[in-house]
Amino acid sequence: MYSNELLGKPIFGKELIIENKTTSKLGLNSLDDLIKFKTENNLEVGTYYVGINIYEEIPIHSFGVLETIPIPKNIATVHIHFSKKKEFNYDKGFAVQKYFDGYSHLGFLIVDLPKMKNIIEAEYGDKQLDLVYEFSNTEIIEKLFQEEIIALIWGINPFTYPLYSTNNVEALKPLLGEKFKDEGVFNLKEDIEFFSIIPGYDLKNWHSILKKDYPKIKIYGKGKTVHLSPYALIDSDKSITTTSFLLHRSKEILKEAKPLLNIDLLYDKTVIG
């Protein structure tokens, strides 16, 4: 699922399974009611229209090992909202992009592909390359980092992961859950707004990368330091249910790139918080 809109229905999934047109009413007439139903909107005592919407997100790609994993790869979201008015306004006044896809252990890249092509061809010419090998055994990845055109995560659990970019990190955090201790931090040129999202499994065939039209994501914020931060939603049994990634810029000073490598995003709760 790919969303290029302000926060609203598309952020929860393109396929709406059930929609309740917010016709129910709920009276919050006591302090106990407020404590029980209090949300980020800071509800006051009174009567509210309540809407319940259920969405499903389906990854763009599902392949190989993902087909054999005996757990759900789609994401179902139940959105409960309270409003004094009968029509609920989804627009929270900030921008967000979202991309939902499946990845192998090789993760994914966020990259300016035309500039990457120029650098690769200057180094190797028009050769077919296995960039998994080249990134692991040569200095080319360091050159791409130095040119401030690439961010990557590598060595993760094969699974499906949402990727968000927003201009209001704090407002989006309730959807993301708890932040992992580690994050990727990179310098990316400020004059580049949109970066291609390339799955790591494509790196084995450089020429095939050049033939594909990859989705792009806008990185919001000010500054050239870009944070690629994993977050996890935890259920009542303290198990990780969903892991997401958040992209945003900051004005922190970063001397060199810090890729996010070899991290357990699904089972190791000690890496969170």
All structural domains of the chain with their residue ranges = 4-83, 96-272
184/106 Cα distance (integer angstroms): 15
**Gyration radius of the chain over CA positions:** 21
Write down the pTM of the prediction: 0.80
Quick one: pLDDT at residue 74? Answer: 77
In tens digits, the chain (273 residues) has pLDDT values of 434 334 444 577 665 655 554 444 555 444 444 445 544 455 555 666 777 777 778 787 766 656 666 555 777 777 676 666 666 555 556 788 889 999 989 999 999 999 999 999 999 999 999 999 999 999 999 999 999 999 999 999 988 999 999 888 888 888 899 999 999 999 999 999 899 999 999 999 999 999 999 999 999 999 999 999 999 988 888 888 889 999 999 999 998 899 999 999 988 877 787
